[in-house]
Amino acid sequence: MDELLRLENLELAYGQVQVVWGITLAVPQGCVACLIGPNGAGKTTTLNAVVGVLPVKSGRILLQGRDVTRERAFRRVSRRLALIPEGRQLWQRMTVEENLMLGAFPGNLRRKAPDSLARVYSMFPRLKERRHQAAGTLSGGEQQMCAIGRGLMADPVLLLLDEPSLGLAPQLVEEVFALISTIAQQGVTILLAAQNVNYALSVSQYGYVMESGRIALEGPSDMLRADDHVREAYLGASESAA
């Protein structure tokens, strides 16, 4: 399959502190890939670099074969790249619908906004019911739905999801990952960063294990689920928590 996203020898730093060391990964079109590992491994940093809010120290980012390493974030959004950030980061005092509409803020997306909004509401009926409600008054699960819906308003070809189950009750975690599967079935390519290894591997086809800023292991998700290191380091805790 064609590669929608490719990172080549990517090195990332915050000032003088380097946190990602020469990682290479690829996400084929139509695939769900996951980036798994412990807190502090560099997963969020990597996604922030892909979307363009963190500059690259060295290496390349290719989106649909185009080198976007030095492109500004708003130009990457215009290429239909969307990030659902860790912690949701909604505008708490704005309504659900206002938050959603901001996902279609770039000029090339505004004409599609009514159709995109209808699509989001069909996927998330609870958001439609609460469309005039302030986002800060929603439950944690509803806020995550709103954040995902806002990302879908950008009509993405590539959706980056950072810790979508963080802080959610176990039953809501299952619901969120079911929604991720539904989005993937609609043809959206997804790169998912998660500490919840069990669920991440269950919805993805390929995975990368990130530890201390490096790719420690990669392979088909089924293979990673059977790997002794992954099972010992991550799956025991994930399965008991799930």
Looking at residue 236, what is its pLDDT? Answer: 66
The bridge status of strand 3-14 relative to strand 17-28 is antiparallel
Q: Which tens digit of pLDDT belongs to each residue from 95-129?
A: 999 999 998 876 667 788 889 999 999 999 999 99
Residue 76 and residue 167 in one domain: yes
Residue 167 and residue 65 in one domain: yes
Strand (E) or helix (H) holding 126: helix 125-129
Q: Which tens digit of pLDDT belongs to each residue from 132-184?
A: 999 999 988 899 999 999 999 988 999 999 999 888 888 888 888 999 999 99
Query: 198 and 235 in contact (C-beta within 8 Å)?
Result: yes
Residue 164 and residue 218 in one domain: yes
CATH number at residue 3: 3.40.50.300
Residue 242 and residue 164 in one domain: yes
Q: Is residue 184 part of a domain?
A: no
Does the pTM surpass 0.85? The reply is: yes
Contacts of 183 (CB under 8 A, 6+ apart): 123, 148, 152, 159, 190
Q: Which tens digit of pLDDT belongs to each residue from 60-101?
A: 999 999 999 999 998 898 888 999 988 878 999 999 999 999
In the chain, the number of structural domains is: 2
Residue 103 and residue 67 in one domain: no
Residue 50 and residue 9 in one domain: yes
Which residues on neighbouring strands pair with residue 3, listed in sequence order?
A: 28
Range of the domain at 121: 89-155
* CB burial of residue 227 (10 Å; 0-12, 13-18, 19+): middle
Residue 170 and residue 103 in one domain: no
Residue 98 and residue 202 in one domain: no
Between CA 123 and CA 108 the distance in angstroms is 23
